[in-house]
Structure 1
Amino acid sequence: MPNLPLFRDPWARREAWRKHPIFSNRTMFSSIFPGFGIAAVAFTAYVIVDNLYLSAVPHSTEHKDHASPH
């Protein structure tokens, strides 16, 4: 038994949950904002498509005022 520690922690089993991978900082941060990554990608794609579409469509510079009798 040379590999066993000299002193054993009587509370080790009760504290083991703190070292579980689900409680890591990365996991905790990613679960704060579920779907944020998908939303950011979708919004970026929308902005790019919208800008490309608006630059391809010619804009009319003249304003037609139908309420004027002239």
Structure 2
Amino acid sequence: MTTPRDPRLFRDPWAKREAWRKHHVFSNRVMFSSMFPGFGVAVVAFTTYVVIDNFLWKAEAQEHKPHH
């Protein structure tokens, strides 16, 4: 009759030291999104600036239109 093997005997002694590799911070998606920090905010801010600037320029151009 054989006894079941104790799973503690086959425990990886380096598991704690290698656990950082499986942490979610080191996933490809997180690494790619943190490659350009603030890029999304910058795009929104620049787009808002361009839209507002275009509307103001059109309004000022119509006000200062020379009358012949």
TM-score (norm 1): 0.62
Q: CA deviation at 1:47?
A: 0.4
Gaps of 5+ in 1: 63-70
Is residue 53 from structure 1 mapped to residue 56 from structure 2 by the alignment? yes
The one of 23, 31, 35 equivalent to 1:20 is 23
Q: Which amino acid aligns with 2:34?
A: S
SS in 2 for 1:34: coil
RMSD between superposed Cα atoms in Å: 2.8
Question: What SS class does the counterpart of residue 29 from structure 1 fall into?
Answer: helix
Moved over 3 A (4+): 7-15, 59-62
> Deviation at 1:15?
3.2
Identity of aligned residues (%): 64
Question: Structure 2: how far apart are the matches of 1:61 and 1:35?
Answer: 43
The structure that is helix-richer by fraction is 2
Aligned residue pair count: 60
**Letter matched to residue 44 of structure 2:** V
Distance 1:35 1:60 in 2: 40
Deviation at 1:13, TM superposition (A): 3.9
1:7-61 Cα deviation digits (max 9, x unpaired): 7656544433221100111110111111111111100000000111111112445
Indicate the residue corresponding to 2:42 in structure 1: 39
